[in-house]
């Protein structure tokens, strides 16, 4: 598999869950991969070891996506070391659930800053570089929550709905410059994030076609498709990967 041989891919939150599977998918396809993370050094070390097994250039870098200057510095470092990024996957995300009437401004702010401001900062840097260097692809990791809006997730649903808006606007703005911007909207996926979701097993059993959660690799395959040349005529799209959860 060599679909990503000439690519330099940045995957935010690439050290756990879906992001880690995406980073491995690109490395398996021969791409240069930079997986970023926030705080969990042990997960970063494990990912560094896993990526080192692929015969391609890989790196794991700490970068808080909520920090505008840190994001700019990370893009600069990547460009210096590996060349300009051709693929960005805005995957880093957090959940901080609570009923609306009890949700604190801090809960609201943390989720919006990570899930929406972060992708804006990263897309802004990526687009500036891709505009100078002949194009690229951005894939945003949204969620079924953007459309369904589960109770207790006002901040999360708003952040992911905002991310879909960002996806569509950026696709229109950048499409003429050979930059495609798409999103995936995963359903329940087997990662650490699910620990924060009460009673998801019942929902999965009742509402998905096969009655099981998705694997990070199944989401990574959809992201890889959108980032690949196979999706050359797909732009501004939101691809649901949810086993019919919202169908
Ligand atoms: P995980 O919790 O397993 O992984 C999250 C990753 O994001 C980690 O690498 C984490 O780094 C990183 N991260 C968190 N905050 C920041 C930050 N401020 N700056 C940089 N990196 C950060 O989550 P998932 O793999 O489940 O989720 C990945 C994406 O998929 C998220 O956007 C999530 O909303 C979305 N999603 C997930 C679903 C699911 O069911 N799992 C369903 C729908 C969407 P560190 O470990 O260092 O904190």
3-state secondary structure of 174: helix
Query: 17: Cβ below 6 Å to ligand 1?
Result: yes
| CA-closest residue to ligand 1 atom 34 | 93
Cβ atoms of residues 97 and 197 within 8 Å: yes
Query: 13: Cβ below 6 Å to ligand 1?
Result: yes
Query: 31: Cβ below 6 Å to ligand 1?
Result: no
Pocket of ligand 1, candidates 11, 15, 18, 67: which has the most ligand atoms within 8 Å of its Cβ, to mutate?
18
Question: Which has the closest alpha carbon to 117: 184, 69, 176?
Answer: 69
Q: How far is the CA of 31 from the centre of ligand 1 (A)?
A: 22
Tokens of 47: 């990912």
Task: Give me the pLDDT at residue 195, please.
Answer: 85
Domains (range + CATH), the chain: 8-187+215-236 (3.40.50.720)
Pocket of ligand 1, candidates 25, 38, 220: which has the most ligand atoms within 8 Å of its Cβ, to mutate?
38
The atom of ligand 1 lying closest to the CA of 43 is 46
Share above pLDDT 90 across residues of the chain, in percent, rounded to a whole number: 92
Residue range 145-190, pLDDT digits in tens:
999 888 999 999 999 999 999 999 999 999 999 999 999 999 999 9
Question: Exposure pattern of 205-229 as b/e (b: 16+ CB <10 Å)?
Answer: eebbeeeebbebbbbbebbbbbbbe
Burial class (CB in 10 A: 0-12, 13-18, 19+), 245: buried
pLDDT band at 2 (very low <50, low <70, confident <90, very high): low
User: Could you confirm whether 156 is annotated as catalytic?
Assistant: yes
Query: 29: Cβ below 6 Å to ligand 1?
Result: no
How far apart are the C-alpha atoms of 227 and 234, rounded to whole Å?
A: 10
How far apart are the C-alpha atoms of 52 and 58, rounded to whole Å?
A: 7
For residue 153, the number of C-alpha atoms closer than 13 Å in the C-beta half-sphere is: 21
DSSP string, 21-76: HHHHHHHHTT-EEEEEESS-HHHHHHHHHHHHTSSS-EEEEE--TT-HHHHHHHHH
pTM equals 0.98
Task: Give me the pLDDT at residue 106, please.
Answer: 98
């Amino acid at each position: 598999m060599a679909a990503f041989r000439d690519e330099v891919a940045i995957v935010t939150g690439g050290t756990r869950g879906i992001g880690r599977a995406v980073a491995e998918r690109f490395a398996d396809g021969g791409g240069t991969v930079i997986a970023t993370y926030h705080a969990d050094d042990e997960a970063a070390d494990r990912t560094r070891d896993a990526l080192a097994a692929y015969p391609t250039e890989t790196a794991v870098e700490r970068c808080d996506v909520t920090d505008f200057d840190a994001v700019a510095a990370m893009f600069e470092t990547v460009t210096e070391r590996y060349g300009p990024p051709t693929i960005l996957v805005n995957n880093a995300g957090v959940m901080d659930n609570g009923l609306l009437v009890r949700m604190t401004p801090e809960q609201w702010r943390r989720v919006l800053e990570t899930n929406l401001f972060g992708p804006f900062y990263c897309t802004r840097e990526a687009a500036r570089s891709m505009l100078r260097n002949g194009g690229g692809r951005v894939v945003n990791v949204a969620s079924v929550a953007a459309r369904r809006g589960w109770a207790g997730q006002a901040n999360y649903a708003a952040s992911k709905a905002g991310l879909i808006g960002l996806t569509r606007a950026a696709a229109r703005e950048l499409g003429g410059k050979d930059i495609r911007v798409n999103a995936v909207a995963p359903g329940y996926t087997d990662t650490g994030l699910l620990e924060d979701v009460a009673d998801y097993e019942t929902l999965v059993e009742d509402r998905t076609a096969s009655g099981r959660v998705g694997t990070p690799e199944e989401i990574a395959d959809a992201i890889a498709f959108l980032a690949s040349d196979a999706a050359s005529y797909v732009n501004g799209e939101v691809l649901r990967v949810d086993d019919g959860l919202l169908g």
